[in-house]
Structure 1
Protein backbone atom coordinates (compact mmCIF):
# COMPACT_ATOMS: atom_id res chain seq x y z
CA UNK A 1 0.00 0.00 0.00
CA UNK A 2 1.55 3.35 -0.99
CA UNK A 3 2.10 5.72 1.92
CA UNK A 4 0.48 8.69 0.19
CA UNK A 5 -0.74 10.16 -3.12
CA UNK A 6 2.77 11.09 -4.26
CA UNK A 7 4.04 7.55 -3.75
CA UNK A 8 0.98 6.17 -5.55
CA UNK A 9 1.54 8.57 -8.45
CA UNK A 10 5.15 7.42 -8.75
CA UNK A 11 4.11 3.77 -8.65
CA UNK A 12 1.43 4.31 -11.30
CA UNK A 13 3.95 6.15 -13.47
CA UNK A 14 6.18 3.08 -13.28
CA UNK A 15 3.34 1.04 -14.81
CA UNK A 16 3.04 3.53 -17.70
CA UNK A 17 0.03 5.43 -16.36
CA UNK A 18 0.81 9.09 -15.61
CA UNK A 19 -1.82 10.58 -13.25
CA UNK A 20 -2.05 14.21 -12.28
CA UNK A 21 -2.01 15.25 -8.63
CA UNK A 22 -5.79 15.32 -8.25
CA UNK A 23 -6.33 11.86 -9.73
CA UNK A 24 -3.52 10.32 -7.69
CA UNK A 25 -5.08 11.74 -4.53
CA UNK A 26 -8.54 10.44 -5.42
CA UNK A 27 -7.18 6.97 -6.21
CA UNK A 28 -5.17 6.87 -2.97
CA UNK A 29 -8.20 7.81 -0.90
CA UNK A 30 -10.29 5.16 -2.65
CA UNK A 31 -7.66 2.57 -1.70
CA UNK A 32 -7.31 3.46 1.97
CA UNK A 33 -10.93 4.41 2.65
CA UNK A 34 -12.41 1.40 0.77
CA UNK A 35 -14.71 3.74 -1.13
CA UNK A 36 -15.72 3.38 -4.80
CA UNK A 37 -14.15 5.94 -7.11
CA UNK A 38 -16.49 7.51 -9.66
CA UNK A 39 -14.64 8.89 -12.70
CA UNK A 40 -16.30 11.13 -15.26
CA UNK A 41 -14.82 12.72 -18.36
CA UNK A 42 -14.66 12.61 -22.11
CA UNK A 43 -14.02 9.26 -23.76
CA UNK A 44 -10.35 8.44 -24.09
CA UNK A 45 -8.98 10.44 -21.15
CA UNK A 46 -7.77 7.38 -19.23
CA UNK A 47 -10.63 6.37 -16.93
CA UNK A 48 -10.62 2.68 -17.80
CA UNK A 49 -6.83 2.59 -18.01
CA UNK A 50 -6.59 3.69 -14.38
CA UNK A 51 -8.38 0.54 -13.22
CA UNK A 52 -5.97 -1.63 -15.21
CA UNK A 53 -2.98 0.28 -13.81
CA UNK A 54 -4.23 -0.06 -10.22
CA UNK A 55 -4.79 -3.79 -10.69
CA UNK A 56 -1.27 -4.18 -12.04
CA UNK A 57 0.18 -2.08 -9.24
CA UNK A 58 -1.62 -3.85 -6.39
CA UNK A 59 -1.40 -7.34 -7.89
CA UNK A 60 -5.15 -7.75 -7.61
CA UNK A 61 -7.30 -9.54 -10.21
CA UNK A 62 -9.38 -7.18 -12.34
CA UNK A 63 -13.05 -7.88 -13.05
CA UNK A 64 -14.70 -5.67 -15.63
CA UNK A 65 -18.42 -5.12 -16.02
CA UNK A 66 -19.15 -3.37 -19.32
CA UNK A 67 -22.49 -1.60 -18.98
CA UNK A 68 -25.01 -1.19 -21.79
CA UNK A 69 -28.68 -0.49 -22.24
CA UNK A 70 -30.78 -3.46 -21.15
CA UNK A 71 -28.12 -4.93 -18.85
CA UNK A 72 -29.80 -7.20 -16.33
CA UNK A 73 -28.76 -8.19 -12.82
CA UNK A 74 -28.26 -11.83 -13.82
CA UNK A 75 -25.69 -10.78 -16.43
CA UNK A 76 -23.76 -8.76 -13.87
CA UNK A 77 -24.25 -10.86 -10.75
CA UNK A 78 -24.76 -14.59 -11.24
CA UNK A 79 -26.78 -17.18 -13.08
CA UNK A 80 -27.46 -20.87 -12.66
CA UNK A 81 -25.83 -23.36 -15.00
CA UNK A 82 -29.03 -25.05 -16.18
CA UNK A 83 -27.16 -27.46 -18.44
CA UNK A 84 -25.08 -28.89 -15.60
CA UNK A 85 -28.10 -28.95 -13.31
CA UNK A 86 -30.00 -31.03 -15.86
CA UNK A 87 -27.10 -33.45 -16.24
CA UNK A 88 -26.90 -33.78 -12.46
CA UNK A 89 -30.64 -34.47 -12.28
CA UNK A 90 -30.46 -37.16 -14.96
CA UNK A 91 -27.42 -38.76 -13.33
CA UNK A 92 -29.20 -38.86 -9.98
CA UNK A 93 -32.27 -40.43 -11.55
CA UNK A 94 -30.16 -43.02 -13.34
CA UNK A 95 -28.47 -43.90 -10.04
CA UNK A 96 -31.85 -44.15 -8.36
CA UNK A 97 -30.82 -41.33 -6.02
CA UNK A 98 -33.88 -39.29 -6.73
CA UNK A 99 -36.18 -40.91 -4.22
CA UNK A 100 -35.76 -38.02 -1.77
CA UNK A 101 -37.28 -35.24 -3.83
CA UNK A 102 -36.42 -32.45 -1.38
CA UNK A 103 -32.78 -33.50 -1.12
CA UNK A 104 -32.49 -33.82 -4.90
CA UNK A 105 -33.99 -30.39 -5.42
CA UNK A 106 -31.62 -28.87 -2.86
CA UNK A 107 -28.63 -30.48 -4.56
CA UNK A 108 -29.49 -28.70 -7.79
CA UNK A 109 -28.70 -25.37 -6.15
CA UNK A 110 -25.22 -26.21 -4.96
CA UNK A 111 -22.43 -23.60 -5.32
CA UNK A 112 -20.77 -25.66 -8.04
CA UNK A 113 -23.72 -24.92 -10.36
CA UNK A 114 -23.55 -21.17 -9.81
CA UNK A 115 -22.05 -19.12 -12.66
CA UNK A 116 -20.40 -16.06 -11.12
CA UNK A 117 -20.55 -12.87 -13.15
CA UNK A 118 -18.21 -9.85 -12.61
CA UNK A 119 -19.89 -8.45 -9.48
CA UNK A 120 -19.94 -11.77 -7.66
CA UNK A 121 -16.45 -12.67 -8.89
CA UNK A 122 -15.04 -9.43 -7.49
CA UNK A 123 -16.63 -10.04 -4.10
CA UNK A 124 -15.54 -13.67 -3.85
CA UNK A 125 -12.00 -13.19 -5.16
CA UNK A 126 -11.04 -10.56 -2.59
CA UNK A 127 -9.10 -8.37 -2.62
CA UNK A 128 -9.78 -7.42 -6.22
CA UNK A 129 -10.38 -4.48 -8.55
CA UNK A 130 -13.90 -4.10 -9.92
CA UNK A 131 -14.31 -1.91 -12.99
CA UNK A 132 -17.89 -0.86 -13.73
CA UNK A 133 -17.31 0.69 -17.15
CA UNK A 134 -19.64 3.29 -18.69
CA UNK A 135 -22.28 3.02 -15.98
CA UNK A 136 -24.14 5.90 -17.65
CA UNK A 137 -25.13 3.53 -20.47
CA UNK A 138 -27.04 1.21 -18.13
CA UNK A 139 -30.73 1.67 -17.27
CA UNK A 140 -31.97 3.38 -14.12
CA UNK A 141 -33.16 0.03 -12.75
CA UNK A 142 -29.69 -1.48 -12.97
CA UNK A 143 -28.18 1.60 -11.37
CA UNK A 144 -30.53 1.14 -8.41
CA UNK A 145 -29.50 -2.52 -8.13
CA UNK A 146 -25.82 -1.57 -8.26
CA UNK A 147 -26.42 0.89 -5.46
CA UNK A 148 -27.46 -1.95 -3.15
CA UNK A 149 -24.40 -4.05 -3.99
CA UNK A 150 -21.95 -1.20 -3.38
CA UNK A 151 -23.57 -0.19 -0.10
CA UNK A 152 -22.18 -3.09 1.94
CA UNK A 153 -20.46 -5.31 -0.67
CA UNK A 154 -22.82 -8.21 -0.10
CA UNK A 155 -24.89 -10.27 -2.51
CA UNK A 156 -27.88 -12.34 -1.51
CA UNK A 157 -28.41 -15.63 -3.33
CA UNK A 158 -31.80 -16.95 -2.16
CA UNK A 159 -30.81 -20.60 -2.55
CA UNK A 160 -27.40 -20.22 -0.85
CA UNK A 161 -27.63 -17.24 1.49
CA UNK A 162 -25.60 -14.04 1.71
CA UNK A 163 -22.15 -13.76 0.14
CA UNK A 164 -20.00 -11.01 1.66
CA UNK A 165 -16.60 -9.77 0.50
CA UNK A 166 -13.91 -10.52 3.10
CA UNK A 167 -12.13 -7.39 1.85
CA UNK A 168 -14.05 -4.74 -0.10
CA UNK A 169 -12.90 -4.62 -3.72
CA UNK A 170 -11.41 -1.43 -5.11
CA UNK A 171 -14.31 -0.23 -7.26
CA UNK A 172 -13.79 2.10 -10.22
CA UNK A 173 -16.93 3.38 -11.93
CA UNK A 174 -16.59 5.32 -15.18
CA UNK A 175 -19.00 7.54 -17.05
CA UNK A 176 -18.77 9.44 -20.33
CA UNK A 177 -21.75 11.50 -19.14
CA UNK A 178 -24.14 10.43 -21.87
CA UNK A 179 -26.72 10.88 -19.10
CA UNK A 180 -26.62 12.02 -15.51
CA UNK A 181 -26.02 9.30 -12.95
CA UNK A 182 -28.28 9.52 -9.90
CA UNK A 183 -27.01 11.40 -6.86
CA UNK A 184 -27.65 8.40 -4.62
CA UNK A 185 -24.93 6.44 -6.40
CA UNK A 186 -22.51 9.35 -6.47
CA UNK A 187 -22.95 9.93 -2.74
CA UNK A 188 -21.45 6.51 -2.04
CA UNK A 189 -18.40 7.26 -4.13
CA UNK A 190 -15.42 9.52 -4.22
CA UNK A 191 -15.66 11.66 -7.36
CA UNK A 192 -13.12 12.93 -9.85
CA UNK A 193 -13.49 14.60 -13.22
CA UNK A 194 -10.75 13.72 -15.72
CA UNK A 195 -9.66 16.49 -18.06
CA UNK A 196 -7.65 16.03 -21.21
CA UNK A 197 -3.99 16.18 -20.21
CA UNK A 198 -1.94 19.31 -20.62
CA UNK A 199 0.70 19.48 -23.31
CA UNK A 200 3.69 18.39 -21.22
CA UNK A 201 1.84 15.50 -19.58
CA UNK A 202 0.49 14.27 -22.91
CA UNK A 203 3.99 14.31 -24.38
CA UNK A 204 5.20 12.35 -21.35
CA UNK A 205 2.38 9.81 -21.80
CA UNK A 206 3.17 9.34 -25.48
CA UNK A 207 6.88 8.92 -24.77
CA UNK A 208 6.18 6.48 -21.95
CA UNK A 209 3.69 4.31 -23.82
CA UNK A 210 5.30 4.61 -27.25
CA UNK A 211 9.08 4.69 -26.71
CA UNK A 212 9.67 3.98 -30.39
CA UNK A 213 8.16 7.35 -31.35
CA UNK A 214 10.62 10.24 -31.57
CA UNK A 215 10.29 13.07 -29.08
CA UNK A 216 9.72 15.51 -31.93
CA UNK A 217 6.83 13.46 -33.29
CA UNK A 218 5.34 13.03 -29.80
CA UNK A 219 5.43 16.79 -29.23
CA UNK A 220 3.98 17.48 -32.68
CA UNK A 221 1.13 14.99 -32.16
CA UNK A 222 0.34 16.36 -28.68
CA UNK A 223 0.26 19.93 -30.02
CA UNK A 224 -1.90 19.03 -33.04
CA UNK A 225 -4.28 16.95 -30.91
CA UNK A 226 -4.75 19.90 -28.56
CA UNK A 227 -5.62 22.06 -31.57
CA UNK A 228 -8.19 19.50 -32.72
CA UNK A 229 -9.75 19.51 -29.26
CA UNK A 230 -10.20 23.24 -29.60
CA UNK A 231 -12.48 22.77 -32.61
CA UNK A 232 -16.22 22.14 -32.37
CA UNK A 233 -15.96 18.42 -33.13
CA UNK A 234 -18.52 15.70 -32.46
CA UNK A 235 -15.84 13.61 -30.76
CA UNK A 236 -12.71 15.45 -29.63
CA UNK A 237 -9.73 13.09 -29.65
CA UNK A 238 -8.59 11.64 -26.34
CA UNK A 239 -5.27 10.22 -25.23
CA UNK A 240 -6.10 6.87 -26.84
CA UNK A 241 -6.60 8.53 -30.22
CA UNK A 242 -3.40 10.54 -29.83
CA UNK A 243 -1.52 7.29 -29.20
CA UNK A 244 -3.12 5.67 -32.26
CA UNK A 245 -2.18 8.69 -34.35
CA UNK A 246 1.43 8.71 -33.19
CA UNK A 247 1.67 4.95 -33.84
CA UNK A 248 0.21 5.34 -37.36
CA UNK A 249 2.62 8.15 -38.19
CA UNK A 250 5.58 6.18 -36.84
CA UNK A 251 4.49 3.17 -38.91
CA UNK A 252 4.66 5.38 -42.01
CA UNK A 253 8.20 6.38 -41.11
CA UNK A 254 7.43 9.85 -39.81
CA UNK A 255 9.83 11.41 -37.34
CA UNK A 256 7.84 14.64 -37.20
CA UNK A 257 4.34 15.73 -38.18
CA UNK A 258 3.74 17.41 -41.53
CA UNK A 259 0.44 18.55 -43.12
CA UNK A 260 0.42 15.82 -45.78
CA UNK A 261 0.92 12.89 -43.40
CA UNK A 262 -1.47 14.46 -40.90
CA UNK A 263 -4.24 14.64 -43.51
CA UNK A 264 -3.66 11.04 -44.64
CA UNK A 265 -3.80 9.63 -41.13
CA UNK A 266 -6.77 11.53 -39.73
CA UNK A 267 -8.68 8.26 -39.50
CA UNK A 268 -6.49 7.34 -36.53
CA UNK A 269 -7.51 10.39 -34.52
CA UNK A 270 -10.97 11.37 -35.79
CA UNK A 271 -13.86 8.90 -35.77
CA UNK A 272 -16.70 10.82 -37.46
CA UNK A 273 -17.02 11.79 -41.12
CA UNK A 274 -18.29 15.23 -40.13
CA UNK A 275 -15.21 15.86 -38.00
CA UNK A 276 -12.87 14.74 -40.78
CA UNK A 277 -14.62 16.97 -43.33
CA UNK A 278 -14.46 19.93 -40.95
CA UNK A 279 -10.72 19.53 -40.49
CA UNK A 280 -10.17 19.13 -44.24
CA UNK A 281 -12.14 22.32 -44.87
CA UNK A 282 -9.85 24.25 -42.57
CA UNK A 283 -6.44 25.26 -43.71
CA UNK A 284 -4.30 22.21 -43.01
CA UNK A 285 -1.25 24.35 -42.48
CA UNK A 286 -3.03 26.29 -39.75
CA UNK A 287 -3.66 23.04 -37.85
CA UNK A 288 -0.60 20.94 -38.57
CA UNK A 289 1.96 23.12 -40.25
CA UNK A 290 4.81 24.02 -37.97
CA UNK A 291 3.49 21.66 -35.36
Structure 2
Protein backbone atom coordinates (compact mmCIF):
# COMPACT_ATOMS: atom_id res chain seq x y z
CA UNK A 1 0.00 0.00 0.00
CA UNK A 2 1.33 3.48 -0.89
CA UNK A 3 -0.09 6.71 0.50
CA UNK A 4 -0.12 9.86 -1.57
CA UNK A 5 -0.41 10.76 -5.23
CA UNK A 6 2.54 9.59 -7.27
CA UNK A 7 4.00 12.41 -9.34
CA UNK A 8 6.58 11.88 -12.10
CA UNK A 9 10.22 12.38 -11.02
CA UNK A 10 10.75 15.77 -12.65
CA UNK A 11 12.29 19.03 -11.51
CA UNK A 12 10.92 19.85 -8.05
CA UNK A 13 11.38 23.07 -6.16
CA UNK A 14 14.20 24.18 -8.49
CA UNK A 15 16.08 20.91 -8.12
CA UNK A 16 16.54 18.16 -10.66
CA UNK A 17 15.25 14.89 -9.24
CA UNK A 18 17.97 12.28 -9.05
CA UNK A 19 16.67 8.77 -8.31
CA UNK A 20 18.75 6.82 -5.85
CA UNK A 21 17.99 3.61 -7.72
CA UNK A 22 17.35 3.27 -11.45
CA UNK A 23 14.61 0.65 -11.00
CA UNK A 24 13.07 -1.68 -8.40
CA UNK A 25 15.27 -4.50 -9.71
CA UNK A 26 18.39 -2.41 -9.26
CA UNK A 27 17.24 -1.46 -5.76
CA UNK A 28 16.83 -5.14 -4.92
CA UNK A 29 20.29 -6.09 -6.23
CA UNK A 30 22.12 -3.17 -4.62
CA UNK A 31 20.38 -3.64 -1.26
CA UNK A 32 21.25 -7.34 -1.44
CA UNK A 33 24.87 -6.45 -2.13
CA UNK A 34 24.77 -4.15 0.91
CA UNK A 35 23.76 -7.07 3.13
CA UNK A 36 19.99 -6.55 3.17
CA UNK A 37 17.61 -9.08 1.59
CA UNK A 38 14.59 -7.06 0.43
CA UNK A 39 11.28 -8.54 -0.64
CA UNK A 40 9.64 -7.11 -3.80
CA UNK A 41 7.60 -4.56 -1.84
CA UNK A 42 10.70 -3.27 -0.01
CA UNK A 43 12.67 -2.95 -3.25
CA UNK A 44 9.82 -1.19 -5.04
CA UNK A 45 9.07 1.34 -2.30
CA UNK A 46 12.79 2.02 -1.79
CA UNK A 47 13.08 2.82 -5.49
CA UNK A 48 9.96 5.03 -5.42
CA UNK A 49 11.10 6.92 -2.32
CA UNK A 50 14.24 7.99 -4.18
CA UNK A 51 12.64 8.53 -7.58
CA UNK A 52 9.72 10.60 -6.25
CA UNK A 53 11.72 12.25 -3.46
CA UNK A 54 9.06 11.32 -0.93
CA UNK A 55 9.65 10.14 2.66
CA UNK A 56 9.15 6.43 3.30
CA UNK A 57 7.21 5.35 6.40
CA UNK A 58 8.14 1.80 7.40
CA UNK A 59 5.85 0.22 9.98
CA UNK A 60 5.85 -3.14 11.72
CA UNK A 61 6.80 -4.97 14.92
CA UNK A 62 10.17 -4.39 16.54
CA UNK A 63 13.06 -6.30 15.07
CA UNK A 64 11.87 -6.94 11.51
CA UNK A 65 14.50 -4.81 9.76
CA UNK A 66 12.91 -1.36 9.53
CA UNK A 67 15.95 0.55 10.77
CA UNK A 68 18.28 -1.79 8.89
CA UNK A 69 16.56 -0.89 5.62
CA UNK A 70 17.54 2.77 6.04
CA UNK A 71 21.11 1.77 6.88
CA UNK A 72 21.21 -0.53 3.85
CA UNK A 73 20.05 2.27 1.54
CA UNK A 74 22.89 4.43 2.87
CA UNK A 75 25.44 1.64 2.33
CA UNK A 76 24.11 0.75 -1.12
CA UNK A 77 24.19 4.36 -2.32
CA UNK A 78 27.37 5.51 -0.61
CA UNK A 79 25.41 8.05 1.44
CA UNK A 80 25.89 9.27 4.98
CA UNK A 81 23.28 8.34 7.56
CA UNK A 82 21.81 11.05 9.82
CA UNK A 83 19.66 9.56 12.56
CA UNK A 84 17.02 11.16 14.75
CA UNK A 85 16.16 8.71 17.52
CA UNK A 86 12.68 9.55 18.79
CA UNK A 87 11.61 9.29 22.40
CA UNK A 88 9.02 10.72 24.76
CA UNK A 89 9.92 14.33 25.51
CA UNK A 90 11.80 14.95 22.25
CA UNK A 91 11.47 18.65 21.37
CA UNK A 92 12.45 21.16 18.70
CA UNK A 93 15.82 21.85 20.30
CA UNK A 94 16.83 18.18 19.98
CA UNK A 95 15.21 17.52 16.61
CA UNK A 96 15.75 20.72 14.58
CA UNK A 97 18.18 23.21 16.10
CA UNK A 98 18.95 25.34 19.12
CA UNK A 99 21.08 28.37 19.85
CA UNK A 100 24.33 28.12 21.76
CA UNK A 101 23.19 30.31 24.62
CA UNK A 102 26.46 30.08 26.54
CA UNK A 103 28.45 31.27 23.53
CA UNK A 104 25.92 34.03 22.87
CA UNK A 105 26.25 35.25 26.46
CA UNK A 106 30.04 35.32 26.19
CA UNK A 107 29.73 37.34 22.99
CA UNK A 108 27.47 39.91 24.70
CA UNK A 109 29.83 40.12 27.67
CA UNK A 110 32.81 40.58 25.36
CA UNK A 111 31.11 43.55 23.72
CA UNK A 112 31.00 45.22 27.12
CA UNK A 113 27.78 47.10 26.41
CA UNK A 114 29.30 49.03 23.51
CA UNK A 115 26.74 47.78 20.98
CA UNK A 116 23.10 48.66 20.49
CA UNK A 117 20.53 45.88 20.93
CA UNK A 118 20.06 45.68 17.16
CA UNK A 119 23.80 45.19 16.63
CA UNK A 120 24.04 42.62 19.42
CA UNK A 121 20.98 40.78 18.09
CA UNK A 122 22.46 40.52 14.61
CA UNK A 123 25.75 39.30 16.05
CA UNK A 124 24.49 36.62 18.39
CA UNK A 125 21.83 35.20 16.06
CA UNK A 126 24.36 34.33 13.40
CA UNK A 127 25.48 31.04 11.87
CA UNK A 128 28.36 30.52 14.30
CA UNK A 129 25.96 30.36 17.25
CA UNK A 130 23.59 27.83 15.67
CA UNK A 131 23.65 24.21 16.84
CA UNK A 132 22.16 22.04 14.09
CA UNK A 133 20.31 18.90 15.18
CA UNK A 134 19.54 15.91 12.91
CA UNK A 135 16.68 17.39 10.86
CA UNK A 136 18.49 20.62 10.04
CA UNK A 137 21.77 18.78 9.52
CA UNK A 138 20.22 16.51 6.88
CA UNK A 139 18.48 19.42 5.12
CA UNK A 140 21.69 21.44 4.82
CA UNK A 141 23.95 18.71 3.47
CA UNK A 142 25.07 18.79 -0.16
CA UNK A 143 26.26 15.17 -0.11
CA UNK A 144 23.91 12.17 -0.54
CA UNK A 145 22.22 11.70 2.83
CA UNK A 146 19.79 9.22 4.33
CA UNK A 147 17.73 10.79 7.11
CA UNK A 148 16.44 8.14 9.51
CA UNK A 149 13.66 9.28 11.85
CA UNK A 150 13.59 6.20 14.05
CA UNK A 151 10.60 5.05 16.12
CA UNK A 152 8.49 8.13 15.44
CA UNK A 153 5.61 6.53 17.37
CA UNK A 154 7.62 6.91 20.61
CA UNK A 155 7.71 10.70 20.29
CA UNK A 156 4.92 12.99 21.44
CA UNK A 157 2.24 13.92 18.93
CA UNK A 158 3.54 17.51 18.89
CA UNK A 159 6.78 16.33 17.28
CA UNK A 160 4.85 15.34 14.17
CA UNK A 161 4.03 19.00 13.69
CA UNK A 162 7.75 19.79 13.56
CA UNK A 163 8.17 17.25 10.79
CA UNK A 164 5.52 18.55 8.43
CA UNK A 165 7.60 21.36 6.93
CA UNK A 166 10.54 18.99 6.48
CA UNK A 167 8.46 16.19 4.98
CA UNK A 168 6.47 18.48 2.68
CA UNK A 169 8.97 21.01 1.38
CA UNK A 170 12.32 19.72 2.65
CA UNK A 171 12.97 23.00 4.39
CA UNK A 172 13.37 24.37 7.89
CA UNK A 173 12.38 27.88 8.94
CA UNK A 174 14.64 29.61 11.47
CA UNK A 175 12.96 32.89 12.49
CA UNK A 176 16.26 34.71 13.09
CA UNK A 177 17.94 33.54 9.86
CA UNK A 178 15.14 32.71 7.44
CA UNK A 179 14.21 29.51 5.62
CA UNK A 180 16.81 26.85 4.87
CA UNK A 181 15.80 24.80 1.82
CA UNK A 182 17.51 21.58 0.81
CA UNK A 183 19.72 21.85 -2.25
CA UNK A 184 19.90 18.06 -2.33
CA UNK A 185 16.95 16.30 -0.80
CA UNK A 186 17.81 13.50 1.60
CA UNK A 187 16.35 10.01 1.34
CA UNK A 188 13.99 10.06 4.35
CA UNK A 189 12.94 6.92 6.23
CA UNK A 190 10.55 7.05 9.19
CA UNK A 191 10.11 3.90 11.24
CA UNK A 192 7.24 3.03 13.56
CA UNK A 193 6.48 0.04 15.77
CA UNK A 194 2.79 1.03 15.57
CA UNK A 195 2.48 1.60 19.31
CA UNK A 196 0.24 4.56 18.47
CA UNK A 197 -1.51 5.84 15.35
CA UNK A 198 0.38 8.53 13.47
CA UNK A 199 -1.41 11.62 12.23
CA UNK A 200 -2.98 11.62 8.79
CA UNK A 201 -0.91 14.70 7.94
CA UNK A 202 2.32 12.72 8.35
CA UNK A 203 0.98 9.65 6.56
CA UNK A 204 -0.25 11.73 3.63
CA UNK A 205 3.27 12.97 2.97
CA UNK A 206 4.82 9.52 2.92
CA UNK A 207 5.01 6.35 0.94
CA UNK A 208 4.14 3.36 3.12
CA UNK A 209 5.76 -0.02 3.66
CA UNK A 210 4.72 -2.64 6.19
CA UNK A 211 7.32 -5.16 7.31
CA UNK A 212 6.42 -8.25 9.30
CA UNK A 213 8.32 -11.28 10.52
CA UNK A 214 9.48 -13.31 7.51
CA UNK A 215 8.33 -16.82 6.75
CA UNK A 216 10.60 -19.72 7.60
CA UNK A 217 12.22 -19.98 4.18
CA UNK A 218 13.01 -16.29 3.98
CA UNK A 219 14.37 -16.13 7.53
CA UNK A 220 16.62 -19.09 6.79
CA UNK A 221 17.91 -17.14 3.78
CA UNK A 222 18.62 -14.11 5.98
CA UNK A 223 20.31 -16.13 8.73
CA UNK A 224 22.55 -18.08 6.38
CA UNK A 225 23.51 -14.88 4.53
CA UNK A 226 24.55 -13.28 7.83
CA UNK A 227 26.15 -16.42 9.29
CA UNK A 228 27.42 -18.42 6.28
CA UNK A 229 29.39 -20.84 8.47
CA UNK A 230 26.16 -22.13 10.09
CA UNK A 231 25.27 -25.68 9.02
CA UNK A 232 22.19 -25.69 6.76
CA UNK A 233 20.48 -28.38 8.84
CA UNK A 234 20.91 -26.38 12.05
CA UNK A 235 19.78 -23.23 10.23
CA UNK A 236 16.52 -24.98 9.36
CA UNK A 237 16.08 -26.15 12.95
CA UNK A 238 16.78 -22.64 14.23
CA UNK A 239 14.27 -20.75 12.07
CA UNK A 240 11.58 -23.38 12.66
CA UNK A 241 12.10 -23.07 16.42
CA UNK A 242 11.98 -19.28 16.25
CA UNK A 243 8.73 -19.49 14.30
CA UNK A 244 7.23 -21.73 17.00
CA UNK A 245 8.41 -19.35 19.75
CA UNK A 246 6.83 -16.35 18.00
CA UNK A 247 3.46 -18.10 18.06
CA UNK A 248 3.50 -18.05 21.88
CA UNK A 249 1.98 -15.21 23.91
CA UNK A 250 5.18 -13.37 24.78
CA UNK A 251 6.10 -9.93 26.04
CA UNK A 252 8.66 -9.63 23.25
CA UNK A 253 8.88 -12.01 20.30
CA UNK A 254 12.39 -12.75 18.96
CA UNK A 255 13.57 -10.32 16.31
CA UNK A 256 15.43 -11.25 13.14
CA UNK A 257 18.58 -9.79 14.67
CA UNK A 258 18.17 -12.15 17.64
CA UNK A 259 17.77 -15.09 15.25
CA UNK A 260 21.11 -14.10 13.72
CA UNK A 261 22.65 -13.79 17.22
CA UNK A 262 21.38 -17.27 18.02
CA UNK A 263 22.99 -18.61 14.87
CA UNK A 264 26.31 -17.05 15.84
CA UNK A 265 25.92 -18.51 19.33
CA UNK A 266 25.44 -22.03 17.96
CA UNK A 267 28.52 -21.62 15.77
CA UNK A 268 30.58 -20.31 18.71
CA UNK A 269 29.49 -23.25 20.91
CA UNK A 270 30.09 -25.71 18.05
CA UNK A 271 26.61 -27.17 18.54
CA UNK A 272 26.01 -29.82 15.90
CA UNK A 273 22.32 -30.43 16.56
CA UNK A 274 19.69 -28.03 17.94
CA UNK A 275 18.04 -30.54 20.25
CA UNK A 276 15.86 -29.73 23.26
CA UNK A 277 18.82 -29.41 25.61
CA UNK A 278 20.72 -27.08 23.28
CA UNK A 279 17.63 -24.92 22.85
CA UNK A 280 17.03 -24.68 26.60
CA UNK A 281 20.66 -23.78 27.31
CA UNK A 282 20.79 -20.99 24.71
CA UNK A 283 17.23 -19.66 24.88
CA UNK A 284 18.42 -16.51 26.60
CA UNK A 285 19.86 -15.31 23.31
CA UNK A 286 16.40 -14.81 21.78
CA UNK A 287 14.17 -14.31 24.86
CA UNK A 288 14.97 -11.48 27.27
CA UNK A 289 12.07 -11.71 29.75
CA UNK A 290 11.92 -14.34 32.47
CA UNK A 291 8.21 -14.95 31.90
CA UNK A 292 8.84 -15.48 28.17
CA UNK A 293 11.64 -17.90 28.93
CA UNK A 294 9.46 -19.90 31.34
CA UNK A 295 6.56 -19.99 28.88
CA UNK A 296 8.80 -21.20 26.06
CA UNK A 297 10.30 -23.95 28.23
CA UNK A 298 6.81 -25.07 29.20
CA UNK A 299 5.14 -24.82 25.79
CA UNK A 300 8.03 -26.33 23.86
CA UNK A 301 8.50 -28.97 26.56
CA UNK A 302 12.19 -28.28 26.97
CA UNK A 303 14.48 -29.69 29.62
CA UNK A 304 15.70 -26.57 31.48
TM-score (norm 2): 0.88
- The CA deviation at 1:54 is 0.4
- The CA deviation at 1:275 is 1.3
Deviates more, 1:253-262 or 1:65-74: 253-262
Looking at structure 2, the residues matched to 46 and 157 of structure 1 have their Cα atoms a distance apart, in angstroms, of 34
Looking at structure 2, the residues matched to 52 and 67 of structure 1 have their Cα atoms a distance apart, in angstroms, of 17
Match of 2:78 in 1: 59
- The CA deviation at 1:100 is 4.2
Deviates more, 1:20-29 or 1:221-230: 221-230
Match of 2:50 in 1: 31
Q: 1:263·1:284 contact (CA, 8 Å) conserved in 2?
A: no
Aligned with 1:74: secondary structure? helix
1:116 paired with 2:132, answer yes
- The CA deviation at 1:212 is 3.2
Structure 2: state its 5+ residue gaps: 1-19
Superposed CA RMSD: 1.7
Aligned length: 283
Match of 2:187 in 1: 170
Match of 1:217 in 2: 234
Aligned with 2:98: secondary structure? strand
- The CA deviation at 1:207 is 1.6
Q: 1:44·1:237 contact (CA, 8 Å) conserved in 2?
A: yes
* Deviation digits for residues 11-36 of structure 1 (CA, Å, limit 9, x no counterpart): 11111100001111011100100011
Q: Within 5 Å, give how 1:164-203 maps onto structure 2.
A: 164-203=181-220
Q: Which runs of 4+ in 1 moved over 6 A?
A: none
Match of 1:289 in 2: none
Structure 1: state its 5+ residue gaps: 287-291
TM-score (norm 1): 0.92
- The CA deviation at 1:285 is 5.8
